[in-house]
Chain A
């Protein structure tokens, strides 16, 4: 032991201390390991109970007859699911999800990448621009919705700016449009979330060694070629992260539509989350609501599982 202490700073130290850990009485270690497990146990129970058992419970509720204020756990099989799959509103919401996800994800990823690339050009005042772009992420979906409902009023707001620059005939009704309302909702949604994606890309760009770009430049590659064949492929993991995060955000969108236009005309801005909330806590059709919630869960799992699988190595270090 004395020798292992005296051999310091060199690489041998880790070796000897590793050997020491093996030689040290194991009970002592095991005792502390036991304490660690015991301390973690309440959290494990909380997560097991409040997340995993609740998920199972939701699936179970979706198979019973509880569609009024009175709790009724009579098993009815997949009847609620059948009802859900026959509901026109469900399909409208799926269509809206496709619109929303397409518009929202495209805007976040394209603008997030462009802004990050611009900010990576040794910009004076980078902190200011970065702060401005991420700023919206600090406020809630409700605040965002309230502000943008005013900005997207057909008679004023953005349309007034269009009129000022001469586009007097261009006055869309934005979120009140029965066909394109959902696309309009993606504008404030992306306004809020682009900063997040930008931050991811900026960190990614900063982690690319300067030599990589220089090597490409020496080979005669122009800016476009470097981005197209070097930087964008290198940033694929970031893009994957961004797709998963924005995708999950699309599935659960609730606050923003609540604050803006609710379901909108002809359910133009209705979402699964909004449908679930109204069915459950408005109409007290708990089992049907549980089926919608469970469906949202399954949809998200398609994104979460591959994402976490790809992260597994990173997590296990």
Chain B
């Protein structure tokens, strides 16, 4: 290895370490601030480690957001499961039963995926009120399932496109119909795709703020991110409690991401129609 090459390699690692530090820094600050009692949250000692292992801020934050944390679980888990299942069937149809006009419908689904929610919020509230679903957890689950139709169909469609059609022809010859092919051929091999889609849906539904705020804003029923924003926005809550609440809100997606990071990456790429 030449001297110049050693220097270049060293510089690359140095830059990468600095960048990693930058991207992890806010998490560091959230954790250390959350572990300090209010008396130690001092603007001049912000970056210093806490003196002990104080859990008071987390306990206080937890008592404030626990009901909303549970709400978010009650919303996110069913919505992610249902929308993934719908997505798998739709993806199966869009990739293997391409009737005339299927591609056009698929494109129209995708357009819906990219448009900003601000353009549909008012009719959404009106409709949910008529359906008596406004301000209910069921209503929010329904909305997340519907708005998840395009992305989940896209992810499953690209996964199923890789399954050779000969496999389906063979199943057809064995007498499998529409449901048989799905049940016996595609469903058993689609677990990797399910993992990616579930992860993607879980993260985006859990992290949603706008739809929760509009559809389910009552403090008791609101999802976690709405609750965290209410705590942070009141300006009377101490920083240590705010940071602890934010960390609690981030924890499920962080755990999921650390455990299944590779799948998350795949979802990122597929979600942009690339890769």
B99 contacts partner chain A, Cβ-Cβ < 8 Å? yes
Interface residues in B236-257 by Cβ distance below 8 A to A read 239, 242-243, 245-247, 249-250, 253-254, 256-257
17 more contacts with CB within 8 A, not counting A129-B16, A142-B249, are A20-B169, A118-B12, A134-B265, A137-B268, A138-B203, A143-B247, A156-B44, A157-B29, A200-B274, A252-B117, A254-B210, A255-B210, A290-B122, A294-B119, A303-B114, A304-B114, A308-B111
Residue A196 at the B interface, CB < 8 A? yes
Q: Is A43 an interface residue (CB 8 A)?
A: yes
A-B contact pairs, 15 of them (CB 8 A): A43-B90, A47-B112, A50-B146, A58-B119, A115-B16, A118-B15, A129-B19, A137-B268, A142-B225, A143-B246, A143-B247, A150-B239, A276-B118, A281-B214, A290-B122
Chain A 2-43 interface residues, beta-carbon cutoff 8 Å to B = 13-14, 17, 20-21, 31-33, 35-37, 39-40, 43
Q: How far is the CA of A289 from the CA of B250 in the complex (A)?
A: 31
Contacts of B261 in A (CB 8 A): 127, 131, 134
A210 an interface residue at 8 Å Cβ cutoff? no
* Cβ-defined partner of A33 (8 Å) among B19, B99, B214, B232: B99
| Residue numbers in A under 8 Å from B265 (CB-CB) | 130, 134, 199
Residue pair A135, B115 in contact (C-beta under 8 Å):
no
| A160 lies within 8 A of chain B by Cβ | yes
Pick the most buried of B20, B23, B257: most chain A CB atoms within 10 A of its CB: B23
Which of these binds chain B: A78-86, A96-104, A173-181, A309-317? A309-317
CB of A132 to closest CB in B, whole Å? 4
B273 touches A315 (CB 8 A): yes
Taken residue by residue from 112 to 128, chain B's Cβ proximity to chain A (1 for < 8 Å, 0 otherwise) reads as: 10111111111110010
Asked whether, in the complex, the Cβ of A308 is within 8 Å of the Cβ of B122, the reply is no
A: number of interface residues (CB 8 Å):
110
Given A142-B249, A147-B26, A259-B229: A52 and B112 interface contact (C-beta under 8 Å)? yes
- Residues of chain A within 8 A (CB-CB) of B269 are 199-200, 203
Flag whether A216 is at the interface (Cβ < 8 A): no
A residues 94-146 near B (Cβ < 8 Å) are: 111, 115, 118-119, 121, 123, 127-146
Q: Counting CB contacts under 8 A, is A241 at the interface?
A: yes
Interface positions of B from 98 to 157, Cβ below 8 Å from A: 99, 103, 105-112, 114-124, 127, 143, 146-147, 149-150, 153
B108 near A47 with CB under 8 A, answer yes
CB atoms of B229 and A47 under 8 A apart: no
Query: Is the Cβ of B119 less than 8 Å from the Cβ of A55?
Result: yes
Question: For chain B residues 147-200, which have a beta carbon within 8 Å of chain A?
Answer: 147, 149-150, 153, 161, 166, 169, 177-179
A183 within 8 Å of B (CB atoms):
no
Bound Cα distance from A39 to B89, whole angstroms: 8
Docked Cα-Cα span, A199 to B47, in Å, equals: 30
**Inter-chain contacts of A76 with B (CB < 8 A):** none
- When C-beta atoms are compared, the residue in chain A nearest to B258 turns out to be A131
Known contacts: A134-B261, A161-B47, A259-B232. The answer to whether A36 contacts B12 by CB under 8 A is no
CB distance from B7 to the nearest CB of A (A): 14
Residue of A nearest to B90 (CB): A43
- Which residues of chain A are near B108, meaning CB under 8 Å? 47, 52
The 5 lowest CB-CB distance pairs between A and B, nearest first, are: A36-B97, A140-B207, A297-B119, A156-B43, A54-B120
Q: Say yes or no: A155-B206 contact (C-beta < 8 A), given A55-B120, A200-B269, A259-B229.
A: no
Contacts of A44 in B (CB 8 A): 105
**Does A248 count as interface, using CB distance less than 8 angstroms?**
yes
- Bound together, the chains give a CA A290 to CA B86 distance in angstroms of 30
- A252 touching B118 by the CB < 8 A rule? yes
Q: Would B43 and A160 count as touching, CB distance under 8 A?
A: yes
Known: A143-B250, A150-B239. A293 touches B268 (CB 8 A): no
Report A-chain residues with C-beta under 8 Å of the C-beta of B62.
none
B93 contacts A by Cβ under 8 Å: yes
**B52: interface (CB < 8 Å):** no
Query: In the complex, what distance in Å separates the CA atom of A277 from the CA atom of B90?
Result: 33
Bound: A255/B209 CA distance, A: 7
Residue pair B209, A258 in contact (C-beta under 8 Å) = yes
Cross-chain contact A258 with B121 (CB below 8 angstroms): no
The answer to the question of B27 belonging to the interface, with a C-beta cut-off of 8 Å to chain A, is yes
Other-chain contact of A315, B33, B107, B210, B258 (Cβ < 8 Å): B107
